[in-house]
Amino acid sequence: MIVTVKGIVLKSIQYGDFDKLCTILTEEGKFFFKARGIRSLTNKNAAGCQSFVYSEFILEQRAEKYYLRKAQPLYTTLKAGSDIQTIALASYFAELCEDTALDAETGKITLKLLMNALYLLAKADRPLDLIKGVFELRLLAAGGLSPLLEECALCGKPYDAEPHLYVRLLDGDFVCRNCLSSRDQNIMKLSRRAAEIVRRSVSVSEKDAYAIRVAPEILQEFSRFCERFLLAQLDRGYQTLDFYKEVKKLPEN
Ligand SMILES: [Zn+2]
């Protein structure tokens, strides 16, 4: 059977001398296929199987397995010359998508989120950590894991009644200062101003969520929160995130 899908490579592993094993994200969910001969210099499908390129893939299905027939590049998001931080962040986004796109429904939402985030990374006109935080939150929201920052989970006090919220990272909600207990673990203190950015990131349109201007110290707090919240909610680490954090420490040339 032949399947034609449009999507983007999330991961590719070298296999044998000339082949690759690729995972792609499409509107129909993820596909895993073998691309024979893709690493030979004359292979016509190599451009369509590169990272961060949106392509049309023609796959042949045989005995539950897929093999690449053709990959036609349609749209390149990040250019080869993009800086290392941007590439590292895009790789982290791809790994997150690989982890969270579980079926056709989540695949479709995740692909749209990824394409928009890659478009903004390529445009390079706003802070990377804003794109990162909004992407992390909206990806979680797509899986029903938005932080619940309306009111204190215990007494119902509204989020804007005090200067700080004590977010329970595993429960995904917050308690106020009065309700905070010494037994609470995995708490992150979040200023009301940063909490407002978090709330806004998942309540407005995707375009508006990325369009906000934030003071540097609030952006830093927002970014730190989004990452900790995501890692707590998904309960795992990401090698690509560690790499992004390493390259951020490098001096700019
Ligand atoms: Zn309370």
Instruction: Enter the tokens of residue 16.
Output: 């044998």
Mean per-residue pLDDT, 191-214:
96
Confidence of residue 222 (pLDDT cuts 50, 70, 90): very high
Span from the CA of 232 to the centroid of ligand 1 (angstroms): 22
pLDDT of residue 96: 97
Checking if the pLDDT of 14 tops 60, the result is yes
Checking if the pLDDT of 252 tops 80, the result is no
Checking if the pLDDT of 2 tops 70, the result is yes
Give the relative orientation of helices 84-100 and 239-249 as an angle to the nearest 10 degrees. Answer: 160
Domains and CATH numbers, the chain: 2-76 (2.40.50.140), 84-146+185-249 (1.20.1440)
Span from the CA of 197 to the centroid of ligand 1 (angstroms): 21
Mean per-residue pLDDT, 196-216:
96
Span from the CA of 151 to the centroid of ligand 1 (angstroms): 8
Checking if the pLDDT of 253 tops 70, the result is no
pLDDT of residue 183: 83
Q: What is the rounded CA–CA span in Å between residue 153 and residue 23?
A: 40
Q: By the 8 A CB rule, do 179 and 152 touch? A: yes
Span from the CA of 177 to the centroid of ligand 1 (angstroms): 7
Question: Number of C-alpha atoms within 13 angstroms, CB side, residue 111?
Answer: 23
pLDDT of residue 199: 97
Checking if the pLDDT of 209 tops 80, the result is yes
Mean per-residue pLDDT, 219-238:
97
Q: What is the rounded CA–CA span in Å between residue 84 and residue 248?
A: 9
pTM for the model: 0.95
Per-residue pLDDT tens digits for 85-128: 999 999 999 999 999 998 888 999 999 999 999 999 999 999 99
Mean pLDDT score of the chain: 94
User: Dihedral of CA 153/155/156/162: which sign?
Assistant: negative
DSSP-derived secondary structure letter, 147:
-
> What torsion, rounded to 10 degrees, do the Cα atoms 133, 241, 33, 109 define?
-10
Span from the CA of 159 to the centroid of ligand 1 (angstroms): 10
Question: Number of C-alpha atoms within 13 angstroms, CB side, residue 67?
Answer: 9
pLDDT of residue 82: 87
Span from the CA of 147 to the centroid of ligand 1 (angstroms): 16
Confidence of residue 81 (pLDDT cuts 50, 70, 90): confident
Span from the CA of 233 to the centroid of ligand 1 (angstroms): 22
pLDDT of residue 42: 87
The residue among 114, 127, 45, 23 whose CA lies nearest residue 77 is 114
